[in-house]
Amino acid sequence: MAEILIVEDETAINELLRRNLELVGHRCRSVYDGEAAVEVLEEQAFDLMLLDIMLPGLDGFEVYREAGEIPTIFLTAKGGLTDRVKGLRMGADDYMVKPFEMLELLARVEAVLRRTHKGGKDFTFYGVRIDFESRVIEKDGQAVDCTPREYELLETLVKNRNIALSSERLLELVWGYDFEGDTRTVDVHIQKLRKKLGLEECIKTVYKLGYRLEIMK
């Protein structure tokens, strides 16, 4: 997946970001102040930077100026319109205000990587290959006949792999907020994916919650 630099001075938030991003397959490097970020950027290339604005020493805006053209999501407790506009006018790709939902952060990371063509065009696991551009699913090199909903459900599980998602959340992400059915729809589609792709052992049922696509590193 992607190489991501996390620039966040609050240790707990930095560790939480790193842990969740690594769970879904990204490789992360963490720093805790602006000067360290600039030094790391001089020695290593990254696909994306998560950048806090309120940093010791150089602030996030100064780091961004030094970083060059690297896709960036600003993370900050400053939710004022002036700061958001400043960050976006500088060229940042997105802006999130703390506290934020981790699932939303992961979704925004995937969106930026998709726009900047940094996140990979496909993903392969246990003989299954999902192509995010052509929306084709293969099993052992052979295309599998899947419905659009089955594809979207698998893509959602893949992009949130190793994270438990409630059935309600899957319903929102795949079918939309205005869908009038219930979570049994999710259960039915999960069973179809398991059978078609031989993923009975990988798509785990999480008791009283929902499902998790478990992929061991």
The model's pLDDT over 157-166, given as tens digits with 9 standing for 90+, comes to 998 888 889 9
Q: Is the pLDDT of residue 215 over 80?
A: yes
CA dist., res. 119 & res. 111, Å (int):
9
Q: 148-159 vs 184-197: helix axis angle to the nearest 10?
A: 90
- The residue with greater pLDDT, 1 or 32, is 32
Q: What does the mean pLDDT of the chain come to?
A: 90
CA dist., res. 64 & res. 11, Å (int):
20
CATH code: domain 122-213 is: 1.10.10.10
- The residue with greater pLDDT, 194 or 69, is 194
Task: Work out the pLDDT band at 119, boundaries 50, 70, 90.
Answer: low
The token pair at 55 is 């940093």
Torsion of Cα atoms, 209 then 212 then 216 then 217, to 10°: -110
Share of the chain above pLDDT 90, in %: 58
The model's pLDDT over 44-97, given as tens digits with 9 standing for 90+, comes to 989 999 999 989 889 999 999 998 889 999 988 766 677 777 777 888 889 898
Domain parsing of the chain, residue ranges = 3-115, 122-213
In this structure, of 50-54, 66-70, 106-110, 127-131, the range with the lowest mean pLDDT score is: 66-70
Q: Tokens 């992607």 sit at which residue?
A: 2
Q: Give the CATH architecture of domain 3-115.
A: 3-Layer(aba) Sandwich (3.40)
Q: Decide if 112 contacts 93 (C-beta within 8 A).
A: yes
Task: Indicate yes or no: pTM above 0.85.
Answer: no
Strand order in the sheet with 128-131: 122-125, 128-131, 136-139, 142-143
Q: What is the pLDDT of residue 179?
A: 82
Q: CB atoms < 10 A from the CB of 137, how many? A: 20
**97, amino acid identity:** V
Q: 3-state SS string over 33-92? A: CHHHHHHHHHHCCCCEEEEECCCCCCCHHHHHHHHCCCCEEEEECCCCHHHHHHHHHHCC
